[in-house]
Amino acid sequence: MKVKNIYVIVLPLMLPALAYANLANNPSMEGAFIYQDPLGFVAEGWTAWTEEYWYRLCFFAEGTCAHDGLKSQWIGLWGAQEGYYSFGDDGIYQQINSLQPGQGYQASVWFKYFFEADSWYCVSEVTCSVGIDPNGGTDPNVVTDWVSVTDSTHEPRYEGPWLNVRTFFSPNGSIATIFAKIHGYGDAEEEGPSGPIPAPWGADCYIDDVAVHHIGDLDLDGFVNLVDFAIFGLAWSTEPGDAGWNPDCDISDPNDDIIDTLDLDVFTDNWLAGL
Domain ranges of the chain: 33-214, 226-269
Pairwise CA distance, residues 109 & 93, whole Å? 11
Model pLDDT, residue 28: 95
**Residue 246 confidence class, pLDDT cut points 50, 70, 90:** very high
> Which among 200, 199, 216 is positioned nearest to 273, based on CA atoms?
216
Model pLDDT, residue 87: 61
Is 0.85 surpassed by the pTM of this model? no
Model pLDDT, residue 254: 85
Model pLDDT, residue 82: 47
Model pLDDT, residue 21: 80
Average pLDDT value over all residues in the chain:
83
Model pLDDT, residue 18: 44
Listed range (15-29, 76-90, 219-233) with the worst mean pLDDT: 76-90
Model pLDDT, residue 257: 93
Query: Position 90: which residue type?
Result: D
User: 61-74, pLDDT tens digit by residue?
Assistant: 999 899 999 999 99
**Residue 89 confidence class, pLDDT cut points 50, 70, 90:** confident
Q: Would you say residue 190 has pLDDT above 80?
A: no
Of the chain, the percentage scoring pLDDT greater than 70 comes to 78
User: 134-189, pLDDT tens digit by residue?
Assistant: 999 999 999 989 999 888 776 767 788 899 999 999 999 999 999 999 887 766 66
In 10 A of CB 253, how many CB atoms? 15
Query: Position 224: which residue type?
Result: V
**Residue 124 confidence class, pLDDT cut points 50, 70, 90:** low
Given the candidates 3.30.300.30, 3.40.50.720, 2.60.40.10, 2.60.120.260, the CATH classification of the domain at 33-214 is 2.60.120.260
Three-state secondary structure along the chain? CCCCCCCCCCCCCCCCCCCCCCCCCCCCCCCCEEEECCCEEEECCCEEEECCCCCCEEEEEEECCCCCCCCEEEEEEEECCCCCCEEEEEEEEEEECCCCCCCCEEEEEEEEEEEECCCCEECCEEEEEEEEECCCCCCHHHCCCCEEEEEECCCCEEECCCEEEEEEECCCCCCEEEEEEEEEECCCEEEECCEEEECCEEEEEEEEEEEEEECCCCCCCCCCCHHHHHHHHHCCCCCCCCCCCCHHHCCCCCCCCCCCHHHHHHHHHCCCCCC
Contacts for 230-233 with beta carbons within 8 Å, 24 or more apart?
232/259, 232/263, 232/264, 232/267
Q: Would you say residue 198 has pLDDT above 70?
A: no
